[in-house]
Structure 1
Amino acid sequence: MRKPVIAMAALLGVALTACGSGGGGQDGSGDKQTLTVSAAASLTEAFDKLKTDFEHAHPGVQVKLNYDGSSTLVQQITNGADVDVFASADQKNMDKLVKAGDNQGEPKKFASNTLEIAVPKGNPKHVKSFADLARPDVHTVICAPPVPCGAATKKIEQASGITLHPKSEEQNVKSVLAKVRSTDADAGLVYVSDVKTAGPKVSGVTFPETKAAVNSYPVAIVKGTKHEQLAKQFVDMLSAAEGKKRLTDAGFAVD
C-alpha cells in the first residue's frame, strides 16, 4: 500500500519544484536566495527595518546585512567578498569601489547625514559645544580618519580651527556610540541618526560647525552579483516612499 503514496509524493515534489523555479525568491533548485548587503554601520537601524520590508515583499528571499565602517566594507569587496549591494556613508569610499571597477551601474545618492555630539544621559561633563570636546577633562572618542565619520570630524576640526585629542579612534560609528553609552567616554562624535536611535542612555548636543561636513550616502550594485534583479529592487526601494520613511524615521535626511 506504500507504493502509490510514494509515487504521489514524488509527483507532488516535481510539481512544487516546477512552481518554485519560476518565481519569487527561489532559484531552480527550490532553495531560498540570499541578497548580501554591505552597509555603513550608521545605517543599522534603518536597514534592519528595510530588510524586514524587503523580505516581506519578496517571499523566499533572505537579506543578509553586513555592517561596518565604509572603508572596511569597500576593502572587503575589492578583496573579493561575495556582496550584492554596497551602501556607503560617504562618496570617498564609494569612489574606491568605482576606481576598482567593482560597481555595476552608477552609484545613487539616497540619504545624507551630519555629526552630532553624543553624551551619556545627564551630560555629566556639561558638554555644550564642539570646543568643549578639546577640554582636557573631557574624554572624547571619535572615528578613525579612514572611516567617514572620522573624515567628517577632521573637516570640522580644520574649518573650526579646533584640534581634538581623543581618548580613542574607533573603526566605526557604533563603536564610538557604545563607549558613550557605557560611560567609558564623556562624549563622542557620531551621526544625528545614531543619537536619535541610541536609546535613553545617550543624549545629543548639536553644534553649528557640523555644517562643514555633510556626508552623502551613495549605494551601488556590486559587479558580479548573482542576484542583479533583486539587488536593483533593493536599491530602488531606498528612494521609494517606504524607504525614505524608514530613513527619515532613523534620523537621515533624504531628498
Structure 2
Amino acid sequence: MTRSARRTRRMIQVTGAGAALLLALSACSSSSSDKGSSPDADRSVTAAPSGSSPKLSGTVTVFAAASLKESFTALGKQFEKEHPGTTVTFSFGGSDTLAASITGGAPADVFAAASPKTMAIVTGKKDAVGTPATFVRNQLEIATLPGNPDKVSSLKDLTKSGLKVVLCAKTVPCGAAAQKALDASGLKLTPVSYEQDVKSALTKVELKEADAAVVYKTDVKAAGDKVEGVEFPESAKAVNDYPIVQLKNAPNAEAAKAFIALVQSDEGRQVLTGAGFLQP
C-alpha cells in the first residue's frame, strides 16, 4: 500500500470514529432529557385539579327559622341537584325553640336563626363552629284579611277595640321585633294570642281566626292572596339580622359547609331577595 493510500485510510477511520462519538453523545443527551421531563409530565396528568372538592353524600340537617321555609326549601332542592347523593332535611320553627333543641343535643348540621339574640343561645354553649355570618335581614309588616276589611293602615290601628290581633311570642324574633316597634311608637297592644313562630301567627289570619297579625314581609309575600300586607314606618326600627352557622357536632360537616356556601352565594342571594329578604 502506498503512503498516500495509508494516509487516506487513517483519515476515514478518524472521521468514522468522530461520527460514532457524536451519535453516542446525542443519544445520551436525548435519554437524559427524557428522564428529566418524564416525572413532571406524569404529575401534570395525574394531579387532581387545585380547585376540586370532595364528593358530598348523605343527609345534611338544617334547623332554620320558620320565615325561611319557602326560600330554604328551594335552596335545598338546588343543593340536592348540584350534589347527587345528598339529601337536605329541614326543621323549621321558632328560633328560640330550635336553639334550645340544639343545645339540648338534637343532631343537626346547620342553624339559621332569625336574630343574633337567638343565635347567641347556641354560640354561648359553644355549639357552633366559628363566627355566625349574617346572610339576610327581614322587616315586619301587618298581615290583614284579604281586601283589608278593617281598613288597617298603621300600627296604631291595631289597637282598635274589637280588632283581633295576633303576635308572635316575645321570645321569638318576630315577637321581639314587634314589641320593639310598639315601644318605639309608645303603643300598647293586647293580642288575642301569642304564637310560637311567625307561620303560626300568619295562619291565624289565613284561617280568619284573627283580623290581623304582625309578621315579616317575606311571610306576607309567601302567603299570596290569602292575606293583604300593610307597611308601617316603625318597622324600620326593628329590622332583624339573620345569622347562619355550622354546628360543632355536625354529623355531615362537609355538606354543612357546602350548604352555607350556597346560601351565601349569588345564587342563594337571588332566591332570598326574590322571597322578600333584605341584603345584610
TM range (shorter): 0.7 to 0.9
| In 1: Cα distance, 2:70 partner to 2:205 partner | 18
The Cα of 1:181 is off from its aligned counterpart by 0.6
| In 1: Cα distance, 2:149 partner to 2:68 partner | 28
The Cα of 1:229 is off from its aligned counterpart by 1.3
Larger helix proportion, structure 1 or 2?
A: 2
Give the match for residue 251 of structure 1. Answer: 276
SS at match of 2:249: coil
SS at match of 1:199: helix
| In 1: Cα distance, 2:262 partner to 2:56 partner | 16
Q: How does 1:1-255 map to 2 (within 5 A)?
A: 24-26=55-57, 33-255=58-280
CA RMSD of aligned residues (A): 1.2
SS at match of 1:198: helix
Could you state the TM-score of these two structures normalised by the residue count of structure 2? Answer: 0.80
Quick one: which amino acid aligns to residue 24 of structure 1?
A: K
| In 1: Cα distance, 2:145 partner to 2:82 partner | 39
Task: Provide structure 2 residue ranges, at least 5 long, that are not aligned to the other structure.
Answer: 1-52
The Cα of 1:238 is off from its aligned counterpart by 1.3
Quick one: which amino acid aligns to residue 55 of structure 2?
A: G
User: Deviation string for 1:195-221 (max 9, x for gaps)?
Assistant: 111121111000001011010000010
| In 2: Cα distance, 1:200 partner to 1:130 partner | 21
| In 2: Cα distance, 1:153 partner to 1:106 partner | 27
Quick one: which amino acid aligns to residue 174 of structure 2?
A: C
| In 1: Cα distance, 2:61 partner to 2:278 partner | 25
Aligned residues: 228
The Cα of 1:63 is off from its aligned counterpart by 0.2
Quick one: which amino acid aligns to residue 114 of structure 2?
A: A
Quick one: which amino acid aligns to residue 104 of structure 2?
A: N
Q: Is the 8 A contact 2:70 2:222 kept in 1?
A: yes
Q: Is the 8 A contact 1:116 1:191 kept in 2?
A: yes
Q: Which has the larger radius of gyration?
A: 2
User: Deviation string for 1:124-178 (max 9, x for gaps)?
Assistant: 1111100011111210000000000000011111111001110100000000110
Identity of aligned residues (%): 46
The Cα of 1:239 is off from its aligned counterpart by 1.4
SS at match of 1:209: helix
Task: Provide structure 1 residue ranges, at least 5 long, that are not aligned to the other structure.
Answer: 1-21, 27-32
Could you state the TM-score of these two structures normalised by the residue count of structure 1? Answer: 0.87
| In 2: Cα distance, 1:201 partner to 1:243 partner | 26
Quick one: which amino acid aligns to residue 44 of structure 1?
A: K
Q: Which runs of 4+ in 1 moved over 2 A?
A: 22-26
